[in-house]
Amino acid sequence: MSTGALTARQWAFGDGTSPDTAKNPSHTFTQPGSYTVMLKITGPGGVDSTTRAAYVYVYSRLDNPTRLSGRRLSTTQVELTFSNYDSIPTSKTTAIAPWSDSLGLYFCKDSLPSSIQPGTVLQTINITALQGAVRPFKDTMTVPLSLPADSVFYGFSTALNWNDGTKSVIMGGNGTLVLMKDTVRPSNGIVISGKYLGVDTAAVYLDNVSLIDTGKADSVAVWYGIRDSSNFSDASSTKWFPVSALIGGAVANRFTYKIRPAV
């Protein structure tokens, strides 16, 4: 769908094969896995490209195709969204065995479940009901209350329950990691410098304002005082800036504040 006077296209599918220059190429992946796709276009105006990380998910016939995404609702609740489950074989009369009638949802703290054993089963979901539900299928899960002093993650993964009593292998593509609590304070990446502008006026430069974690910081303070002051926190002159004002007013990732004498 790229537009303009294009002279060349180049698709890369992330599987080590040669780039494809067709406008609408057809590509076959020969190995299961998650693949990043990139399109690069060339025209009179130069070169542009776009990349979609983990855009294609390829699975074998006995793999679990289900994808999960999640978001925190509260300290103990997570909303999970299920997708890509239409290809799960559920027909008991199919000549290709095995078939599956349910999906196990596993979870563990601080990481994704890597197998059935270290994970704790949270729920068993009927696949027929899953495939017939309103899309996208979402469900709210409750996890144990945890209030440690540091970050808390919960990992969720799914595995198919086959009719022969076995379960599919848990893979990273079948899971999602949700941040439940984060009390780690971000580091301060702002670099401060200054310049005398004349007539008792100085400029204070705050660089790297894009590094501010807007989810945890709401404002930034600049302390300034007499030369050789050893403790700026006790200085009489302090200026507070809302983070939104800093980022919105920055030019080339630099925010400028001018200090002038009181009128």
Q: What is the DSSP string of 33-81?
A: EEEEEEEEEEETTEEEEEEEEEEEEE--TTS---EEEEEE-SSSEEEEE
Please give the pLDDT value at position 40: 94
Please give the pLDDT value at position 125: 94
pLDDT exceeds cutoff 70 at 236: no
Average pLDDT for 134-157: 85
Last residue of a domain, one of 181, 203, 226: 181
Residues 72 and 154 in one domain: yes
Residues 161 and 88 in one domain: yes
Task: State the residue range of the domain holding 123.
Answer: 67-181
Distance CA 82, CA 57 (A): 14
pLDDT exceeds cutoff 80 at 230: no
How confident is the model over 82-110, as pLDDT tens digits?
A: 998 988 888 776 566 688 989 999 999 88
Please give the pLDDT value at position 87: 83
**Non-local CB neighbours of 61 within 8 Å, separated by 6+ positions:** 89, 96
Residues 53 and 72 in one domain: no
Residues 31 and 101 in one domain: no
CATH number at residue 30: 2.60.40.10
Q: In the chain, what is the straight-line distance between the N-terminal and C-terminal CA atoms, in Å?
A: 59
Q: Percent of the chain beyond pLDDT 90? A: 47
Whether residue 2 is contained in a domain is answered as no
Please give the pLDDT value at position 55: 85
**Non-local CB neighbours of 117 within 8 Å, separated by 6+ positions:** none
- Which of 132-136, 183-187, 224-228, 238-242 comes out lowest in average pLDDT? 224-228
Residues 119 and 155 in one domain: yes
Q: Which amino acid is at 86?
A: D
The domain total for the chain is 3
Q: Which H/E stretch holds residue 138?
A: strand 137-142
Q: Which amino acid is at 204?
A: V
Please give the pLDDT value at position 228: 62
Indicate the pLDDT class of residue 233, thresholds 50, 70 and 90: low
Residues 108 and 209 in one domain: no
The backbone torsions φ and ψ at residue 43, rounded to the nearest 5 degrees and listed phi first, read -155, -175
- Which of 105-119, 150-164, 226-240, 245-259 comes out lowest in average pLDDT? 226-240
Whether residue 1 is contained in a domain is answered as no
Indicate the pLDDT class of residue 62, thresholds 50, 70 and 90: confident
| Backbone conformation region of residue 252, classed left if phi is above 0, alpha if psi is from -120 to 50, else beta | left
